[in-house]
Chain A
Amino acid sequence: MKISENAPYSLSLYIHIPFCTRKCLYCDFLSFQADSMKKEKYVTALLNELSAWEQILKKSIKNPYNNNNTGLLYFNTVFIGGGTPTCLEPSQLLRIGQAVNKYTDENTEFTIEANPGTISGSHIEVFKKIGINRISLGVQSANNSELERLGRIHTYEDFYKSYQKLRKTGFDNINIDVMAGIPGQTLESYKDTLNRIAALNPQHISAYSLIVEPGTVFYKMQELGTLEAADEDTDREMYHITKELLKNYGYTRYEISNYSMQGKECIHNIAYWTGKNYLGAGLGASSYIDGIRFTSTKDFGKYLEIFSNYLPENNTLLQIQENINEDYIKLSDTDKMEEFMFLGLRMCKGVSKSTFADRFGVEMDKVYGDIINHYLQNNLLAEDTKSGRIYLTDKGLDISNYVLSDFILK
Chain B
Amino acid sequence: MEKIEQSHIRNFCIIAHIDHGKSTLADRIIEMTGLLTSREMQAQVLDNMELERERGITIKAQTVRIVYKARNGEEYIFNLIDTPGHVDFNYEVSRSLAACEGAILIVDAAQGIEAQTLANCYLAIDHDLEVVPVINKIDLPSAEPARVKDEIEDIIGLDASDAPLVSAKNGINIEQVLEQIIEKIPAPSGDENGPFKAIIFDSVYDAYKGVIIFCRVFDGSVQKGQEILMMATGAKADVVETGVFGAGRFIPSDGLSAGMVGYITASLKNVQDTRVGDTVTLADNPCKEALPGYKKVQPMVYCGLYPSDGAKYPDLRDALEKLQLNDAALQFEAETSIALGFGFRCGFLGLLHLEIIQERLEREYSLDLVTTAPSVIYHVYKTNGSMVEVTNPSNLPDPSEIEHMEEPVVSAEIMVTKEFVGSIMTLCQERRGIYIGMEYMEETRALLKYELPLNEIIYDFFDALKSRSRGYASLDYDMKGYMPSKLVKLDILVNHEEIDALSFILHADTAYERGRKMCEKLKKEIPRQLFEIPIQAAIGSKIIARETVKAMRKDVLAKCYGGDISRKRKLLEKQKEGKKRMRQFGSVEIPQQAFMSVLKLDDDSK
Contacts and interface: CB of A to CB of B under 8 A. Distances in A.
B558 interface: yes
B436 interface: no
B563 A286 contact: yes
B557 to A, nearest CB: 6
Interface residues of B, number: 25
Given A14-B563, A211-B559, A295-B564, A405 B572 contact: yes
Interface stretch (B291-299, B358-366, B547-555): B547-555
Nearest to B578: A405
Interface in A150-181: none
Contacts of B385: none
Contacts of B561: 29
A239 interface: yes
Interface string A285-328: 11110000101000000000000000000000000000000010
Contacts of A399: 530, 552-556
B514 to A, nearest CB: 28
B563 A235 contact: no
B566 interface: yes
Nearest to A328: B566
B558 A211 contact: yes
A368 to B, nearest CB: 13
Given A408-B572, A410-B576, A398 B565 contact: no
Interface in B555-594: 555-566, 568-569, 571-573, 575-576, 579
A208 B563 CA distance: 17
Nearest to A275: B565
B558 A257 contact: yes
A344 to B, nearest CB: 12
A295 B561 CA distance: 13
A204 to B, nearest CB: 14
B573 A257 contact: no
Interface string B240-283: 00000000000000000000000000000000000000000000
Contacts of A327: 566
Most buried by A among B561, B565, B566, B571: B565
B557 A211 contact: yes
A71 B552 CA distance: 52
B550 to A, nearest CB: 8
B565 A286 contact: yes
A339 interface: yes
Contacts of B568: 342-343
Nearest to A401: B555
A342 B572 contact: yes
Contact of A280 (B550, B563, B569, B571): B563
Given A378-B530, A405-B575, A410-B576, A286 B566 contact: yes
A58 interface: no
A219 to B, nearest CB: 15
Contacts of B530: 378, 380, 399
A342 B575 CA distance: 13
A278 interface: yes
A272 interface: yes
| Size bracket of the A interface | 35 or more
A388 to B, nearest CB: 24
Nearest to A177: B559
Contacts of A406: 576, 579
A339 B565 contact: yes
Contacts of A405: 572-573, 575-576, 579
Contacts of B579: 405-406
B560 A398 contact: no
Contacts of B572: 342, 401, 404-405, 407-408
Contact of A208 (B555, B558, B566): B558
A272 B553 contact: no
Contacts, number: 100
Interface in A200-245: 208-209, 211, 232, 235-236, 239
Given A405-B579, A410-B573, A398 B563 contact: no
Contacts of A273: 560
Nearest to A273: B560
Q: Which secondary structure dominates chain A's binding surface?
A: mixed
Most buried by A among B530, B562, B565, B572: B562
Contacts of B564: 286, 295
B565 A401 contact: no
Given A405-B575, A408-B573, A287 B554 contact: no
Contacts of B553: 232, 236, 398-399
A235 B554 contact: yes
Interface in B323-370: none
B581 to A, nearest CB: 13
A10 interface: no
Interface string A263-292: 000000100110000101000011110000
Interface string A375-410: 000101000000000000000011111101111101
A186 to B, nearest CB: 18
B566 A278 contact: no
B566 A295 contact: yes
Nearest to B573: A408
A23 interface: no
A339 B563 contact: no
Interface in A34-83: 79, 81
B556 A256 contact: yes
B563 A287 contact: yes
Nearest to A279: B563
A257 B566 contact: no
A346 interface: yes
Contacts of A16: 562
Most buried by A among B553, B554, B558: B558
A329 interface: yes
Given A208-B559, A257-B559, A398 B554 contact: yes
A339 B556 contact: no
Contact of B556 (A280, A288, A343, A400): A400
B560 A269 contact: yes
Given A402-B575, A404-B572, A408-B572, A397 B562 contact: no
Nearest to A236: B553
A239 B558 CA distance: 11
Contacts of A236: 553-554
A212 to B, nearest CB: 12
Given A339-B569, A401-B575, A272 B555 contact: no
Interface string A4-20: 00000000001010000
A272 B554 contact: no
Contacts of A329: 566
A239 B562 CA distance: 22
Contacts of B558: 208-209, 211, 256-257
Given A410-B573, A410-B576, A402 B562 contact: no
Given A257-B558, A339-B569, A402 B552 contact: yes
Contacts of B559: 208, 211, 257
Given A378-B530, A401-B572, A406-B576, A293 B566 contact: yes
28 contacts: A29-B561, A79-B562, A81-B562, A209-B556, A209-B558, A232-B553, A239-B554, A257-B556, A257-B558, A269-B560, A285-B562, A285-B563, A286-B562, A286-B566, A288-B565, A293-B565, A295-B566, A329-B566, A346-B560, A380-B530, A398-B553, A398-B555, A398-B556, A399-B556, A401-B555, A404-B572, A405-B576, A408-B569
Given A14-B563, A208-B559, A378-B530, 13 more contacts: A81-B562, A272-B562, A286-B564, A342-B568, A343-B568, A399-B553, A399-B555, A400-B556, A401-B575, A402-B552, A402-B555, A402-B575, A406-B579
Interface of A: 14, 16, 29, 79, 81, 208-209, 211, 232, 235-236, 239, 256-257, 269, 272-273, 278, 280, 285-288, 293, 295, 327, 329, 338-339, 342-343, 346, 378, 380, 397-402, 404-408, 410
Closest 6 CB pairs of A and B: A208-B558, A405-B575, A399-B555, A408-B576, A286-B563, A405-B572
